[in-house]
Structure 1
Amino acid sequence: MEKILLVSNSDERTGLQLALERMGFEISRPGENPDAIIATAVDTDGARLSNVVRLSETSGKVPLLLAVDAASLGQNDRILEMADDFIFAPFNASELAFRMKALLKKSKVPDEGPQTLSCGDLVADRASLSIHVAGQIRSLSVLEFKLLWFLMLCAGKVVSRPNILQNVWKGTVVSNRTIDAHIVGLRRALQGMQFRIETIYGAGYSLRGPDEMDRTNAA
């Protein structure tokens, strides 16, 4: 049974817990390692958003589903980079539980294909969901890893936002801002690597090595 860490106030928590338990989830207790995190932060609850960031960073590579209003979201850009899916208030507890079930299913990286990829000094290991830059490990969320893995598979090519949505978000409807925020998060986490995630205006993104960037700049 998959365990969900539920970060919510007392008024919301009862309904959410019942909906999750009906879907076959178990609510994680303090000290346990959760399989995923659901956090609610509405009414400009910036303090809770900051707490969610800390919880997500200390819980390891587990999916994070955030239920939030637009005002709260604007208070902490880091949560936008880290969240694997969003649902905006007002939300239904059963809908939130279904979204979590779908997110857990999609968060699993498929087994087919290579187990490791490398681009210059950047190395990704799919089995452990780990990233190394010049031998040093870098911390990424599950979705950030999947996004980087896709960019590495397509290294040197331009990938459009619709292509990213299809291959990384698997059809989940998210805004361009969400994709852009995850790209920003990747760039921040991977500072110093030889390859760069380039923005190709009007087309999408491309993971490029130094030689390719030199040719582009020369052109």
Structure 2
Amino acid sequence: MDRMQDSHASHEAHLLVVDDEPNIRDLLASSLRFAGFEVTTAADGNGALHGVDAADPDLIVLDVMLPDMDGFTVARRLRERDITTPILFLTARDDMADKVQGLTVGGDDYVTKPFGLEEVVARIRAILRRTNGTADEDDGVVRVADLILDEDAHEVHRSGVDVELSPTEFKLLRYLMLNAGRVVSKAQILDHVWEYDWNGDAAIVESYISYLRRKVDQIEGQDGRTVAPLIQTRRGVGYMLREPKGE
């Protein structure tokens, strides 16, 4: 896994491509190099784990079906080690349950085989844009009620309790907080958070809203009391984050 020390200066990003099929792995690697990325490859789950340690990639392109352990297990083990490297899953199974499982264990996006190389590149760049913390005028600390999001430190606190979020969950929460008191549609969320519209697959928004509710709205604060829900659904319209009335 040779890697030049100054690789980031000459490449858009460093990717780890993990697939047990040599033809797909080689095609992906050569195509992504042509697109301007530095690429390291691995053929199985253990190779992926070693590759992350050795190469410290900016993003992992991870096949779900691997000979020693599935991609979901690889992702889970990385997240258990507090490794937050973004993950794009590749799978031959076009099943929403698989898609949701991949995102639940810490994945950031999902491409179903057979896929177009342009689609893979577009998804990779969209993930990198939303996880690299591009600075703008909205950077800083955002507060709504007892919920605090610190953009610079990439930290979230609710009622004095630390809240651990994936990069995509963090960006979704930030978008909701910046639009506090205003209903945002699923289409707006897809456009601003994912920056690539999943071909209109709004179900992924519902899944991520559910994850956020568990982590932000269904916890106990430092005082031991369950916090008041902030994320609200406007059926047929979208979602809104606002301070609870009477609190």
TM-score by length of 2: 0.72
**Cα distance change on mapping 1:48 and 1:113 into 2, 3 Å:** closer
1:208 is matched with 242
Look up the SS of the partner of 1:211 in the other structure.
Answer: coil
Contact 1:6 1:39 in 2 (8 A): yes
Number of residue pairs matched by the alignment: 212
The CA distance in 1 between the partners of 2:150 and 2:83, in whole Å, is: 16
Q: Deviations over 1:52-95 (max 9, x none)?
A: 23335545443322222445652473423443332221124454
Query: Do residues 8 (structure 1) and 19 (structure 2) align?
Result: yes
The runs of 5 or more residues in structure 1 that have no matched partner are 215-219
Query: Do residues 39 (structure 1) and 73 (structure 2) align?
Result: no
Contact 1:131 1:139 in 2 (8 A): yes
Contact 1:125 1:131 in 2 (8 A): yes
User: Which stretch has the larger CA shift, 46-55 or 180-189?
Assistant: 46-55
Q: Deviations over 1:11-48 (max 9, x none)?
A: 332222222222232235341432112112259x9833
The CA distance in 1 between the partners of 2:81 and 2:19, in whole Å, is: 18
1:204 maps to a residue whose letter is: G
**Cα distance change on mapping 1:178 and 1:27 into 2, 3 Å:** same
Contact 1:143 1:168 in 2 (8 A): yes
1:112 is matched with 137
The CA distance in 1 between the partners of 2:113 and 2:245, in whole Å, is: 46
Cα deviation, residue 119, structure 1: 1.8
Q: Given the alignment, which residue of 183, 186, 189 partners 2:212? A: 186
1:18 is matched with 30
Contact 1:7 1:52 in 2 (8 A): no
**Cα distance change on mapping 1:102 and 1:206 into 2, 3 Å:** closer
Q: Given the alignment, which residue of 39, 59, 66 partners 1:27? A: 39
The CA distance in 2 between the partners of 1:176 and 1:54, in whole Å, is: 28
Query: Do residues 168 (structure 1) and 168 (structure 2) align?
Result: no
**Cα distance change on mapping 1:152 and 1:98 into 2, 3 Å:** closer
2:77 is matched with 54
2:146 is matched with 121
Contact 1:49 1:76 in 2 (8 A): no
**Cα distance change on mapping 1:161 and 1:76 into 2, 3 Å:** closer
Query: Do residues 137 (structure 1) and 162 (structure 2) align?
Result: yes
Question: What RMSD, in angstroms, separates the aligned Cα atoms of the two structures?
Answer: 2.9
The CA distance in 2 between the partners of 1:54 and 1:172, in whole Å, is: 28
**Structure with more contact order per residue of length (Cα contacts < 8 Å, sep ≥ 6):** 1
Contact 2:213 2:231 in 1 (8 A): yes
The CA distance in 2 between the partners of 1:171 and 1:76, in whole Å, is: 16
The CA distance in 1 between the partners of 2:190 and 2:86, in whole Å, is: 17
1:65 is matched with 88
The CA distance in 1 between the partners of 2:193 and 2:204, in whole Å, is: 12
The CA distance in 2 between the partners of 1:167 and 1:76, in whole Å, is: 20
**Cα distance change on mapping 1:56 and 1:72 into 2, 3 Å:** farther
The CA distance in 1 between the partners of 2:117 and 2:99, in whole Å, is: 24
Query: Do residues 88 (structure 1) and 105 (structure 2) align?
Result: no
Contact 2:99 2:110 in 1 (8 A): no
Identity of aligned residues (%): 31
2:172 is matched with 147
The CA distance in 2 between the partners of 1:170 and 1:75, in whole Å, is: 22
The runs of 5 or more residues in structure 2 that have no matched partner are 1-7, 41-50, 220-226
User: Which stretch has the larger CA shift, 30-39 or 47-56?
Assistant: 47-56
Cα deviation, residue 199, structure 1: 1.6
